[in-house]
């Protein structure tokens, strides 16, 4: 088995971080998790016990410069982990969970250990929303995938999240500078940051986020809730298979190392087999 670490940086996001620690701790071992709190006004949560958690001086005050600084910091930390003997490093935000299709009956560590990763490996991105009128507030007391059944296939979340050597992630882990990406079969990145209207509203009231310039971003990404509420849900297996092919071969002209999908807004319903995974 390969030695695999997962790292993240958070600020005012303990709700999703608790799920992040629970999930990756189960899949990789809590001792292989590296969590950095952005800002010395933050406090390490009790649920991080057993993981490697640190408070770091705040990086930047505006979203663009802060994101660049954050990913430079995390790329450097990933390089340090390789020097400590790790074979692979996962970089993921606190609301991002990399999941193996349950039909394979293998854990995340087993799946990744069997992969021949050159520089990076990308799961296929799925951006979860809340189907209004059908799905209630998201709770930590139940599996997320038992509460949210609809997601948009999103190129923004098909990220080179798994790396096999030191490299430089771009903002938001969306690309690796100087390298292409490879989309893995049967591997998904489930993004839950816009999967709950109440959490979105709370973020819009967060003066710290507003001061950094996140307001426009939150409004824009909140469209995922509208998409999953209004659009017809399509077959998961058929459309994720199509998306892998499309995103592998299509590129936006302004970023040839990012995936594209003709601006299609495809909503899928998550199969029953995923319900207890996350």
pTM value is 0.93
In this model, does residue 98 exceed pLDDT 90?
Answer: yes
User: What integer is the mean pLDDT of 10-17?
Assistant: 93
- CATH number of the domain that 138 lies in? 3.90.550
What are the pLDDT digits (tens) for 261-275? 988 999 999 999 999
Cα distance between residue 195 and residue 138, in whole Å: 8
- The CA-based diameter of the chain, rounded to the nearest angstrom, is 50
What is the 8-class DSSP label of residue 191? E
In this model, does residue 214 exceed pLDDT 80?
Answer: no
CA-CA distances (angstroms) from residue 38 to 9, 12, 56, 96? 6, 9, 5, 17
Beta bridge partners, 5, equal 89
Instruction: Report which of 165, 23, 8 is spatially closest to residue 86, judged by C-alpha positions.
Output: 165
Cα distance between residue 124 and residue 132, in whole Å: 25
In the chain, the number of structural domains is 1
Instruction: Report which of 166, 184, 15 is spatially closest to residue 93, judged by C-alpha positions.
Output: 15
What are the pLDDT digits (tens) for 53-68? 999 998 866 556 678 8
Domain containing residue 236: 4-274
């Amino acid at each position: 088995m390969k030695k695999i670490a997962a790292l993240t940086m958070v600020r005012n996001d303990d709700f999703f971080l608790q799920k992040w620690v629970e999930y990756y701790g189960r899949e990789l071992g809590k001792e292989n998790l590296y969590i950095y709190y952005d800002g010395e006004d933050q406090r390490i949560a009790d649920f991080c016990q057993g993981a490697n958690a640190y408070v770091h001086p705040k990086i930047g005050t505006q979203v663009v410069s802060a994101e660049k600084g954050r990913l430079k910091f995390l790329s450097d930390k990933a390089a340090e982990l390789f020097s400590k003997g790790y074979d692979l490093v996962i970089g993921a935000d606190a609301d991002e969970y990399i999941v193996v299709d349950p039909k394979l009956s293998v854990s995340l560590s087993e799946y990744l250990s069997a992969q021949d990763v050159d520089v990076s490996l990308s799961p296929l991105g799925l951006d979860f929303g809340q189907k209004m009128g059908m799905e209630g507030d998201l709770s930590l007391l139940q599996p997320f995938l038992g509460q949210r059944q609809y997601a948009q296939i999103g190129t923004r979340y098909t990220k080179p999240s798994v790396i096999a050597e030191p490299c430089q992630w771009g903002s938001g882990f969306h690309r690796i500078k100087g390298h292409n990406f490879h989309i893995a079969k049967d591997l998904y990145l489930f993004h839950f940051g816009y999967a709950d209207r109440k959490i979105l509203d709370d973020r819009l009231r967060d003066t710290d986020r507003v001061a950094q310039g996140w307001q426009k971003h939150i409004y824009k990404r909140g469209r995922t809730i509208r998409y999953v509420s209004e659009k017809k849900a399509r077959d998961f297996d058929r459309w994720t298979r199509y998306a892998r092919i499309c995103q592998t071969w299509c590129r936006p002209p302004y970023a040839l190392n990012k995936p594209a999908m003709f601006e299609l807004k495809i909503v899928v319903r998550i199969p029953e087999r995923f319900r207890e995974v996350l």
